[in-house]
Structure 1
Amino acid sequence: MGELSLSKCQPIEIDAKNPFENDALGREENIENLTQFITSFEQSIVLCIDGGWGQGKTTFIKMWQQYLKNLHIPTIYFNAWESDYTDDALIALIGEISLAIDNLSGEAESKAKGLLSIIKDKIRYLIKDGSSKEWLTIVSAIGSFISKGHIKADKIAEFATNLNAALAKDQIEKYEKSKQVLLEFKQALSRLAECYSSNEEKKPLVIFIDELDRCRPDFAIEVLEKAKHLFNVDNIIFVLATDKTQLGHSIRAVYGQGLDVNGYLRRFIDFDYLLPLSNRKYITHLINKFSLGKYLLLKETHYIEPKSFLENMVDKYNLTLREQEAFCNIFNIIVRTKDNAWFDYWVIIICIFLIILKLKFPDIYKNLENKNNSDFLDETIKNIDSHCASDDKNSNYYLELLEFLFLFLKPLNSLQSSYNSNSLKERIEKNAKKFNLDESKIDRLLGFTVRYGVPYISLPILLDIKNSIEISNSFEIN
């Protein structure tokens, strides 16, 4: 069969001349539309690319970044997660802008370095204030002297009054200074952004911020605040790539579970863009990559194609890109560890579903064992039914096929080799109330027997399929 090929989700190679050369998800149109959108604004905006874990956000924005570079639109990539070891998000952001100066040349580089010098001088008024820590150190030291009797008690009140006055004066002066500094900071920052555009045509500096949802909560919040309040200047656009649901958990960890996260984020994010899924395109790409067509493109008479069944399950169970890769890795191991005689048509269909169950609902999957499997069957049928679309019966075909297979699953040590039409109807009617099956659904389930007969799928076969799936646990995926 050739060398065993296992892989996990790796960043695709982005060609400098054609960033969409290796695009398996059809992202080009999305990126073209977003580019037109952000460049239509004259003022600063913050755009959020919202996508769940494993949906390819990083690849998307890096592909977009290269596309913008080819249009001579300046960009900076900032991985927030790799920078959250710093004490201040502002310093990290300015650091990334500073590093990008190395890509400039001539007059633009000289001008940018001069402006950056001004910005660095200003940020000492804008970063986290450490003066309170200094005062606490002084107070602590004086407290030690008091406790040892070196300072008389009647001087404590006088000292405290003077200390409060000095601290208040210091803070007021810093506040007054910071207002002027902030204006000068923003002016210099806007002029600095212009330096990155190589053409006379005014183009924005696009700063991509990635992995915000993986940062420690306080740092993630600080990045949002700095991006909106300090970088809200002409010529700069922020693009955040994040899982907003996970980011919401981080924000609540700081401000409390009762916080209206959506309301809070609206203060910082101007527009949301839900990263579209291209599940069918990607699973087709993976089938070709892993050479699985032999098993998934079967052309059985009057039977559905396993590939079509898999595509439908990927949609219905909303498998992420990484979960799709995990599926193909597991299936790839199975086809390389079982002989061809094992791959009965219905075994492939059940195998596809059990792998998905393992990835998405491991607790249900684990209930399949050499004991009483009634809980597994009940939970599985209920799970399948929960993924059926109530308003589109046609889209439920593959799911109802699964329900049909599990409803007529033959138990361990069953002496009955087949069902007749009466026993089929009795079995369905017996389960009608248990699983809330209406008359139309009962008719559809009985209709499968007309088209397919009753496939011989038993619990021992399910257990064999599960054992074959579990072989993958012994492989390390690099």
Structure 2
Amino acid sequence: MDKQVNCNTPMPELYLAPQHPDPAHPFEGDRLERRALANRLTQMIRRLPAGAVFAIDAAWGDGKSWFGRNWHAELLNDQYISAYIDTFSADYMEDPFFLLIGEISIALNQGKVSDLKKRGAEVAKALAPLTAKVILNAAGKLIGTDDITGKFSEAVSGAAEAAAESIENLISEKITDYEREKNSVTAFKKQLAKLAEENYKKTEKPIVIFIDELDRCKPDFAVKTIERIKHFFEVKHIIFILLLNKTQIHESIRGVYGSNIDAERYLGKFIQFSLNFPKKLIPEGAPPYKKFAAQKLRDYGFEGVDEIDHQAEALAVCAEAFSLTLRDIERCIILISLNSQYYTRYHPLLVAFGPSIKIGHPKAYNQITNPYNNENNDINEAVSRIFRNNEEFCVILNKLHNSMISKSTPDIDDRADAHTRIGLQLRSPEKELLDFYNSLNLKIE
């Protein structure tokens, strides 16, 4: 990768790319062939008339939300009934049932949801927590619970005969409530199934509900959302697609039910199957993530075909070496944008290397920026990963790192090489390089 260092090129303006797709143009800017995956999945869900709940499993930053939102937009354009539910934005609610029924009712929008809302209200009433409870140990022993509603507390605290009669009435009421609640749930599911069946007969397409950001929710809300889907919404011709990080959901399950629970098996009760979201779907022979990095550089206001091409290639090399996610690459570009004075001054490999080790190899970054450190094994190893095909660059950078750690001054030849090949100041390149690394010490989430 050859590039002449140019200190006179104007700096780009910082431009934050939109986070949501254009509904009229889903998958616009798709650089990793995600649309092809969405098309295959669409064909699959059309062959699931019984309905299903399945998960798309990916680590944070791998692009599952971008994929889900664009797939949802494409389904809407193809006349599917679809809802996209961001659970994190609503985990302040007492119960996710309200979120689910609300968003599904909006998505149906057929003029026929009044009965569904009515049935949903009956279910919601059954789910609402009881208020004004008192703890009465004696009564609790008799009925198997220490909860007794306030209307019985006075009677229980009176004569034993009156208490026994009150408890008997309470048990009878509990049985009646259970029957009523069960009937409410059954009526709700029947009404939902009816609407889904009518839609399927009309369109031959299922209703598709995306559930996103579960791994960011409070553990109890995340787990309860999955449970509510199973208990109340699992009917024919409705497909739920959970966009999640299974590892984090497992932790949420353990947080709710204890560390000894088999979280994988428990989650398996609610999800028919899961898909491991592929990190990259690009043609063989192209540098991984180069197209994505180039698009993001343009999104953040960088200009110049050659400059973007060189920088995108450098970012792609670093992404491959340090197993960076798509979100990591974008975070690197944000750090470059916040320190854009270096963008045209330094070699693109160095510009990419700095933020890449901060995000993808923090041990190496901390080693080189810690003023009390006297070791260089991690940073040298990181350099060799990136510059193994550029021996001269590798040698120069390692010499500068050694000078930084030993607090020594590079000799005149090394300083000249650092200037001509990397773009560092001729007088003290090791100090300028340290300033560059330190300028990246910003927390980017």
Same fold (TM over 0.5): yes
Q: Shift in Å at residue 53 of structure 1?
A: 2.0
Partner residue in 2 for 1:444: none
Q: Structure 1 residue 186 and structure 2 residue 174: aligned? A: no
Q: Structure 1 residue 10 and structure 2 residue 18: aligned? A: yes
TM-score, structure 2 normalization:
0.76
- Spell out, residue by residue over 1:117-151, the C-alpha distance to the aligned partner (whole angstroms, 9 max, x if none): 344345534x24527947645289649x96xxxx5
Partner residue in 1 for 2:58: 51
Partner residue in 1 for 2:237: 235
Following TM superposition, the consecutive aligned residue runs of length 4 or more in structure 1 with deviations greater than 6 angstroms are: 399-403, 454-459
Of the structure 1 ranges 80-89 and 283-292, higher mean CA displacement relative to structure 2 is found in 283-292
Shift of the 32–159 alpha-carbon distance from structure 1 to 2, 3 Å rule, reads same
Partner residue in 1 for 2:436: 468
- Spell out, residue by residue over 1:249-276, the C-alpha distance to the aligned partner (whole angstroms, 9 max, x if none): 2222112233322111111111212222
Q: Shift in Å at residue 190 of structure 1?
A: 0.6
Distance 2:233 2:357 in 1: 46
* Paired residue secondary structure (1:35): helix
Distance 1:408 1:318 in 2: 26
Q: Shift in Å at residue 19 of structure 1?
A: 1.6
Give the AA of the match of 2:279: L
Which structure's CA Rg is the greater one?
1
Distance 1:274 1:183 in 2: 34
Give unmatched runs, 5+ long, in structure 1. Answer: 299-305, 389-394, 420-453
Distance 1:230 1:398 in 2: 58
Distance 2:370 2:88 in 1: 45
Q: Structure 1 residue 360 and structure 2 residue 355: aligned? A: no
Distance 2:218 2:377 in 1: 41
Distance 1:178 1:466 in 2: 67
Give unmatched runs, 5+ long, in structure 2. Answer: 1-8, 135-146, 281-288, 415-420
Partner residue in 1 for 2:374: 374
Distance 2:124 2:336 in 1: 54
Distance 1:90 1:468 in 2: 50
Give the AA of the match of 1:113: S
Aligned residues: CA RMSD: 3.9
Matches within 5 A, 1:330-409: 330-334=335-339, 336-338=340-342, 342-343=345-346, 345=347, 348-362=348-362, 364-369=364-369, 371=371, 373-375=373-375, 377-381=376-380, 397=388, 408-409=399-400
- Spell out, residue by residue over 1:275-308, the C-alpha distance to the aligned partner (whole angstroms, 9 max, x if none): 223433311322444226544656xxxxxxx654
Partner residue in 2 for 1:451: none
Give the AA of the match of 1:284: A
Partner residue in 2 for 1:316: 321
Of the structure 1 ranges 205-214 and 358-367, higher mean CA displacement relative to structure 2 is found in 358-367
Partner residue in 2 for 1:436: none
Equivalent residues of 2:83, 2:209 under 8 A apart = yes
Q: Structure 1 residue 30 and structure 2 residue 37: aligned? A: yes
Give the AA of the match of 1:280: K
Give the AA of the match of 1:331: I
Shift of the 282–408 alpha-carbon distance from structure 1 to 2, 3 Å rule, reads same
Partner residue in 2 for 1:447: none
Matches within 5 A, 1:39-438: 39-101=46-108, 103-104=109-110, 109=111, 111-125=112-126, 127-128=127-128, 130=130, 133=133, 136=148, 138=150, 142=154, 155=159, 157-196=160-199, 200-278=202-280, 279-289=289-299, 290-291=302-303, 294-295=306-307, 297=309, 307-334=312-339, 336-338=340-342, 342-343=345-346, 345=347, 348-362=348-362, 364-369=364-369, 371=371, 373-375=373-375, 377-381=376-380, 397=388, 408-409=399-400, 410-411=402-403, 412-414=407-409
Distance 1:22 1:129 in 2: 47
* Paired residue secondary structure (1:124): helix
Shift of the 218–286 alpha-carbon distance from structure 1 to 2, 3 Å rule, reads same
TM-score, structure 1 normalization:
0.72
Q: Shift in Å at residue 35 of structure 1?
A: 0.5
